[in-house]
Copies of this chain bind each other. A is one copy, B any other.
Amino acid sequence: MVTEIAQIKVIAGREKAFEEAVAQAAPHFQAAKGYISLNLEKCIEDPSIYRLVVEWETLDNHMVDFRDSEGFAAWRALASPHFAEPPQVVHTENVFKAV
């Protein structure tokens, strides 16, 4: 499993509209090959900064299958009007966990 973390800075005043766009776009992620889950996190220290956290079965499920899909185009069409700058995307894998 691979976690995509997209840091997204939203235009000031567009926070609620962006959150609604993510909810509206969720089915495009849910329909994607290898999709596991999606969380939208809002930064407490800077409320115009979000982290979209998407779990995928493999890195290619995000970078190839999803990026080349109509679902990705639909997601970007909904969300990108609210972006203050291009998202910064990294991927992580878990190396330790505790509860």
Please name the residue on chain B nearest to A97 by beta carbon: B39
Chain copies in complex: 2
Main secondary structure on A side of the interface with B: strand
Among B3, B38, B90, B96, point to the contact of A97 (Cβ < 8 A): B38
Q: Which residues of B contact A40 (CB under 8 A)?
A: 94-97
Q: Is A77 an interface residue (CB 8 A)?
A: no
Considering only residues 13-68 of chain A, those with a C-beta below 8 Å from chain B are 19, 22-23, 26, 29-30, 36-46, 50-51, 59
A41 touches B93 (CB 8 A): yes
Contact with B along A84-99 (1 / 0, CB 8 A): 0000001111111111
Q: Which residues of B contact A41 (CB under 8 A)?
A: 3, 92-95
